[in-house]
Amino acid sequence: MNMVSDTFGRPLTTLRVSVTDRCNMRCRYCMPEEQYIWLPRESILTFEEIARLVGVFAPLGVDRVRLTGGEPLLRQELDTLVTLLTRVPGVRDVALTTNGVFLAEHAPRLRHAGLHRVTVSLDTLRPERLRDFARSPRHADIVAGIAAARHVGFPVKINSVVIRGFNDDELAELLEFGRAHGAEVRFIEYMDVGGATHWAPDLVVSRQEILDRLAARYGPITPAAGKARPAAPADEFRLADGTAFGIIASTTAPFCGTCDRTRLTADGHLFLCLYAATGVDLQLPLRSGATDAELAGLITPAWQGRRDRGAEERLVVAGRGALYSRAGLRADPHREMHTRGG
Ligand code: SAM
Ligand code: SF4
Ligand code: SF4
């Protein structure tokens, strides 16, 4: 193991792998436009290519891999990739973030393949809101997906992006839904990244406001003694009855200081930060016959030179709006959230 750290001493521990930029939903905070420029199909890494790259990252310190997208369950036989990744020496945690629509049918095979954990994105309990906000009629399938994932034994978390005027009246209902389904809810502040072209500061419901609203309903809320991992993005809390939940305050209280995450796009570009303007192309060398040592020789200096603290830098931007305009996103689809994997 030859662990690498960046200029702020942050290790490279967590790799988010986007397996596709396509999605069957159109959440307004992520993919609000009518048309998208997709990554060319032939540029999408095969499962073997992804596993090979993960095998290069692991000796540098990566022991946690999260599959994301786009919608990762749109990739046929994703369980085959899970099997390959669980066999990579040094990788001890393989997780999945999904919108849940296809989860019920895939949960048993994913479990069998050795996937460790599942996070399902669910922002509303009202099917008509999902229809309007994410252009999806599949609310019941998402709920069934959560139940199926629990049924086969996965630890499940629910991610809910909170947006003023959309779902900020459902905080308690989402918590209670999570409690009923044995799935911890994590509220996420709306971020101005990538595809969030409709972002505006007044749409963000801050961690403090989320806590105030829940305290008004449930009484005192206790912060957990510490994070499960120092680099974990969520702050953990408990209601008086013991119900645990998390808040990811990416916008009002970013956690760049401990960020150990890097992102691999479906076409093999490495991004050191969700907000990074450019990435490192690993696909070209991979497909041109580079050895593992040569690939590690591209990743290591990139991480060692990392100075990114994108969300913290955004805090001081005057008159802050969306990071990119529609035209800016169309100029480079790698800027999209659904390409970077969230
Ligand atoms: N399609 C899968 C899903 O929705 O879970 C995986 C990809 S999605 C890009 C990953 C995560 O990013 C989701 O939990 C989603 O809610 C979150 N996300 C996307 N856009 C966001 C934004 N503007 N602010 C905060 N979170 C966002
Ligand atoms: Fe929604 Fe995830 Fe699809 Fe983005 S990638 S539109 S968050 S389901
Ligand atoms: Fe990490 Fe960049 Fe997000 Fe900060 S903004 S937590 S550095 S990915």
pLDDT for 136: 97
Tell me: the pLDDT tens digits for 122-136? Answer: 999 999 999 999 999
Owner of token pair 């397996």: 19
Q: Which amino acid is at 145?
A: G
Does the structure show a pLDDT above 90 at 292?
A: yes
Tell me what the mean pLDDT of segment 241-256 comes to.
96
Mean pLDDT of 279-290: 98
**What distance in Å separates the CA atoms of residue 218 and residue 155, rounded to the nearest whole number?**
25
Confidence at residue 130, expressed as pLDDT on a 0 to 100 scale: 98
The arrangement of secondary structure in 14-340, i.e. its CATH architecture, is Alpha-Beta Barrel (3.20)
Q: How far is the CA of 155 from the centre of ligand 2 (A)?
A: 21
Say what percent of the chain tops pLDDT 70. Answer: 100
pLDDT score recorded for residue 157: 98
Indicate whether residue 342 lines ligand 1 (CB < 6 A): yes
Q: How confident is the model at residue 247 (pLDDT cuts 50, 70, 90)?
A: very high
Pocket of ligand 1 contains residue 185 by CB under 6 Å: no
Give the model's pLDDT for residue 288.
Answer: 98
Model pLDDT for residues 61-98, shown as the tens digit of each residue? 999 999 999 999 999 999 999 999 999 999 999 999 99
Q: How far, in Å, is the centroid of ligand 1 from the Cα of 190?
A: 10
190 alpha carbon, closest ligand: 1
pLDDT in tens, 249-271: 999 999 999 999 999 999 999 99
Any atom of ligand 2 within 6 Å of the Cβ of 18: no
Instruction: Give residue 1 CA to ligand 2 midpoint distance, Å.
Output: 35
Report the percent of the chain where pLDDT is more than 90. 87
> Would the pLDDT of 226 be above 80?
no
Ligand 2 atom closest to residue 161's alpha carbon, by position in its atom list: 7
Ligand nearest the Cα of residue 32 is: 2
Whether the per-residue pLDDT at 151 is higher than 90: the answer is: yes
Q: What is the pLDDT of residues 10-34, one digit of tens each?
A: 999 999 999 999 999 999 999 998 8
Cα of 243 from ligand 2 centre, angstroms:
27
Q: Which atom of ligand 1 is nearest to the CA of 192?
A: 23
Q: In the structure, which protein residues have their CB atom closer than 6 angstroms to any atom of ligand 3? A: 254-256, 259, 261, 273-275, 308-311
CA 327–ligand 1 middle distance (angstroms): 21
Question: CB of 338 closer than 6 A to ligand 1?
Answer: yes
**Measured distance CA(339)–CA(16) in Å, rounded:** 11
Residue 1: pLDDT over 80: no
Residue range 203-207: mean pLDDT, rounded: 98
pLDDT of residue 303: 98
Q: pLDDT tier at 227 (50, 70, 90 boundaries)?
A: confident
> Residue 164 C-alpha to ligand 3 middle, in angstroms?
23
Confidence of residue 35 (pLDDT cuts 50, 70, 90): confident
**pLDDT value of position 328:** 85
